[in-house]
Amino acid sequence: MAEVKTQKLDGYRRLIDIARDLASTLDLDILLSRIVHAAAEISGAEAASILLYDDTSRQLYFQVATNMDESTRRGIVVPLEGSIAGWIVSNRKTVRITNAHNDPRFFSSVEQTTGFSTKSILGIPLVTKNKIVGVLEALNKPRGNFTDTDESMLLVLGAQAAVAIENARLFQQSDLISEFVHELRTPLSSLSTATYLLMRPEISQEQRDQIVNNIHSETMRLNSLASSFLDLARLESGRVQFRKTRFSVADLLYECKDAIASKALEGNIQIRVEPPEGMPLLDADRDKIKQVLLNLLSNAVKYNRPNGTVMMRAELTEKEMVLIVQDTGLGIPDEALPHLFEKFFRVREHEGRASGTGLGLSICKQIVNGHGGRIEVKSKIGVGTVFSIFLPYANKTSPRAENGRKGAKQ
């Protein structure tokens, strides 16, 4: 009995440390990972996971789990109807189950994706004073069942976690929105100047045409700013679903080359694809990976020199597939490299040369990270830049040669 009491006390002491730890971060990914590890620890569970609730789509999104890598768990949607987590959200009640498989609410398709076998579950709703944020679940108690103490500790953790998640999300949004509004100012002010000038009777037809051209390119830029901003906001909030399929990388590289061809032609830039040989199919969200490659390619063309080249290739390491976009362009100064993937960051020296939003690389990073991968850059001023995307490659199936356009004219 005394032992149980000490255990409980230690647990609560630990909770206070955890609370401090949670309050100290506004980075959502780091925060969620701290929460699940703390949840598993204090409830003595084999694993723990968090599902976040999106009240617009009324769906739950699997976010983090102690026992799964990022690429597996991201994008799993759990329905409100027919899942234990959904029941917790709808009823705002705690659930304690000894054998999940005997429970009619159990949603087994997560298991099929993750390969984890759930036995006991202790699940609690994550609620702040005005809304439900998601569900925290402790999974599999190795000896015996989850106890009342486990439940009350998890509830205390859950209350802190919900507030911390809400704070991190609000911070993220306000940060992004204020930067966005700031970015709107420049194009808006040039649009207003342009329209003012158009109203002046003394300007020539030639000047008029030039101003109209200006308005056209500014509105195009605003348009792409708006869609990039939306993309990024969705990715940052963790609400993007990655729809994985297995596809040929060679085909995708050629498709991207074709998509960018006319832009490349304008600068007389040659795009070459080195056809990857014997590459296995890649298991990823094809549209999203295409978006990343197109972003990198359009940068490689935009920040190139006249008559330059861009090369795309793919390589395979033991665990990863690497997609590489290399150019013979301007290069990036060393001091800019650490900031390259920050929102709205553009190299000052490049600003006059090409129009852009500075969001492209942030989007690339979010997508690649969301696949459990990483993106790296190497650059030399006046020589060129190499971007490499490393994507985890599950060696589940035997490599299969691609029947892409091998040897096709580049």
- Closer by beta carbon to Mg ion, 137 or else 218: 218
Residues near ligand ADP (CB under 6 A): 295, 299-300, 303, 327, 329-330, 332, 340, 345-347, 350, 356-361, 385
Chain position whose Cβ is nearest to Mg ion: 360
Q: How far is the CB of 358 from ligand ADP (least distance, A)?
A: 4
Using rule CB under 5 A, residue 326 touches Mg ion = no
- Closer by beta carbon to ligand ADP, 86 or else 358: 358
In whole angstroms, give the CA distance from residue 252 to residue 1.
64
Per-residue binder mask for Mg ion (CB under 5 A), 249-288, x = binder: ----------------------------------------
Using rule CB under 5 A, residue 360 touches Mg ion = yes
- 3-state SS, 144-180, equals CCCCHHHHHHHHHHHHHHHHHHHHHHHHHHHHHHHHH
Q: Which does 238 bind (CB under 5 to 8 A by kind): Mg ion, ligand ADP, none?
A: none
**Of 1-9, 241-249, 270-278, 352-360: span binding Mg ion (CB under 5 A):** 352-360
Q: How far is the CB of 302 from Mg ion (least distance, A)?
A: 7
**Of 285-293, 315-323, 337-345, 355-363: span binding Mg ion (CB under 5 A):** 355-363
Place of tokens 């723990």: 48
- Closer by beta carbon to Mg ion, 299 or else 385: 299
Footprint (CB under 5 A) of Mg ion, residues 283-322: 299
3-state helix, strand, coil in the chain (%, to 5): 50, 20, 35
Question: For residue 311, what is the DSSP state?
Answer: E
**Structure tokens that stand for 361 in this block:** 């690389």
Q: Give me the sheet containing 384-392, strands edge to edge.
A: 270-273, 309-316, 320-327, 384-392, 374-380
Q: Which helix (H) or strand (E) holds 362?
A: helix 360-370
**Of 46-54, 124-132, 251-259, 357-365: span binding Mg ion (CB under 5 A):** 357-365
Q: How far is the CB of 240 from ligand ADP (least distance, A)?
A: 18
Comparing C-alpha atoms, which of 356, 349, 307, 345 is closest to residue 332?
A: 349
- Closer by beta carbon to Mg ion, 280 or else 360: 360
Amino acid at 203: I
Where do the DSSP E strands lie in 151-258?
A: 245-247
> 26 — alpha (psi -120 to 50), left (phi > 0) or beta?
alpha
Whether the CB-CB separation of 141 and 45 falls below 8 Å is answered with yes
Q: How far is the CB of 341 from ligand ADP (least distance, A)?
A: 8
- Closer by beta carbon to ligand ADP, 229 or else 303: 303
Amino acid at 371: H
Q: Which does 327 bind (CB under 5 to 8 A by kind): ligand ADP, Mg ion, none?
A: ligand ADP
- Which chain residues interact with Mg ion by CB under 5 A? 299, 360
